[in-house]
Chains A and B, each alone.
Chain A
């Protein structure tokens, strides 16, 4: 038996053995709590005390226009309860002004929040910004004073109503901001669940890309069968081994700021801004993007030379350099 463990340790990389823990250590795992009864809809329900609170940092959407200035992040406190069929997520965040849908105003925007789920994680995590052409996402959307929606998207500008049950929502306006519960059928039946969050501030003209967003998170759901293959894939997506300082020098040497916005480069609309790339992306996505820019092109006409061909030239990277680049990009947050 000991021999077997030793053999496994030798043959498999360490993350394969302790994937959930590795994700946890990296801050990419949220702890959901199993409930026997239906998870609560009320933001004040005492059952929420059973779920540990995770404090997530949401980043201003600055990758593409129209977006926000890359100035301030938004802390959002998250608690997750689920039973075999239903998932409830409670989000708490500060928002100084209460902005609701106003049938008597043409220039105001409402506060809003959304939870995004990948439809399929077999091919890795979808692009964080509304998925991509072959990697759709589904969403629960809430707007203050409006109806909640169930939506689907496969890239920027593709958001559309999706069939199926609309999530239930209950929002509590507090003195500081919002406490919101979204509840709906559990998307997928395995542990971990993967999700990302977005919050819009009506007072800041929030809508569309003018939002704060989180990177993808894995959510541990104890009541469900663990999908160890998915845990392993996610741990692999989170792998970084490079040297960030060497990566920074490579970025400078290759003139990446000719198209991408980078620290100190000033705005550049030719390609998505990388100013907060490490905050919203996982290393795996950045690695794939650098290695094969046409493999997935951020949706948007201006980023492609022609259909399926990215404006960014494909270079053959020494594996160490690629890792250094990824390590550097992950520091941008």
Chain B
């Protein structure tokens, strides 16, 4: 465990699935050198198999203090090959060839976009941005027989020492979020670095900073003025993803509210489209209280009353969402 922990809160009510975060990350870190298939940050549609395919059934994480076995995702079948497209033929040659991948694709980072679940008129889906959780009890770190993975004391960022990594991939199997990727060209494993070179300069992570929906807050968990502390510990509306995996993740999610279902006569039932029990599967037992708090605070705003929570989530000023160099509690 590190002295301090930098945490991210993602408000799923504001995520529009535009993948600006995904591209901000990709163009910064993973656009070459065997990383083409990797998405250190991606946005998947839930419910769905996600990326890599069926990661929630791929094992890893903790069973009390023992590591659970996990699978290694396959490049073509589970991540998806980074296909080239027939740009030349489609864009510059005569005829009307459609733009298509040159290789048959089996999967990709957002293969099931907007598919979701449920029957008309009660279909539902929401977007789930995912990145390394920079866990407090990282299974990847524990699984590495070479101690190539470390958690930084000053901010809790989990990193792979590329000099020490020999590509054994025990970490890939151990991470229950499947957010460590083996680079088959380099022969080493790589992962989200929480943009530590930016963080060290006081600049937020590319995924958070570029988010057009102002859905991502970043602050240290012990910074009582920070959004992470406020949303996680005070309002308790930001919840970890699959806490039962046991790694104590440090990316938190504000669960999505949804419009009511319709009954056979087309009348709203008052029950949310996204079933509570599905959200509980993802975000744990705190979901109901979190959604109730959100609804109550929305109601305040609707009546023209003040709501500190809504003001925080609305994020009137972009800069207010990030506190990367705060004073520690009690410090001068």
Is chain B a partner of chain A in the same complex? Answer: yes
Contact residues of A with B, CB < 8 Å? 66, 101-107, 146, 156-157, 159-160, 207-209
Is the pair A208, B34 in contact by a Cβ cutoff of 8 Å? no
Is the pair B187, A104 in contact by a Cβ cutoff of 8 Å? no
Task: Report which of A103, A104, A157 forms a contact with B146, defined as CB distance below 8 A.
Answer: A157
State in angstroms the CA–CA spacing of A107 and B79 once bound together.
11
Is the pair A66, B145 in contact by a Cβ cutoff of 8 Å? yes
B182 interface residue, CB < 8 Å from A? yes
State in angstroms the CA–CA spacing of A160 and B184 once bound together.
19
Which of B42-50, B70-78, B203-211 contacts its partner? B70-78
Q: How far is the CB of A108 from chain B (nearest CB, A)?
A: 8
State in angstroms the CA–CA spacing of A103 and B169 once bound together.
15
Closest to B38 in A: A106
Interface residues of B in 167-191 (CB under 8 A from A): 167-170, 172, 181-182, 184-185, 187
Closest to A158 in B: B146
Task: Report which of B170, B184, B187 forms a contact with A66, defined as CB distance below 8 A.
Answer: B170
Contact residues of B with A, CB < 8 Å? 34, 37, 71-76, 79, 81, 145-147, 164, 166-170, 172, 181-182, 184-185, 187
Interface secondary structure of B, over-half rule: loop
**A107-B74 in contact given A102-B184, A207-B167, A207-B168 (Cβ < 8 Å):** yes
Closest to A64 in B: B145
State in angstroms the CA–CA spacing of A105 and B73 once bound together.
9
Closest to B76 in A: A104
Closest to A161 in B: B163
Is the pair A103, B145 in contact by a Cβ cutoff of 8 Å? no
Closest 8 CB pairs of A and B: A107-B72, A157-B146, A106-B182, A106-B75, A208-B168, A207-B168, A107-B74, A103-B184
6 contacts between A and B (CB under 8 A): A102-B184, A103-B34, A104-B81, A106-B37, A106-B73, A106-B181
Residue numbers in B under 8 Å from A101 (CB-CB): 187
Closest to B147 in A: A157
Is the pair B145, A209 in contact by a Cβ cutoff of 8 Å? yes
Is the pair A107, B145 in contact by a Cβ cutoff of 8 Å? no
Residue numbers in B under 8 Å from A103 (CB-CB): 34, 184-185
If A104-B76, A106-B181 are given as contacts, then 6 extra A-B residue pairs at C-beta distance below 8 Å, sorted by A number, are: A104-B75, A104-B81, A106-B79, A107-B75, A160-B164, A207-B166
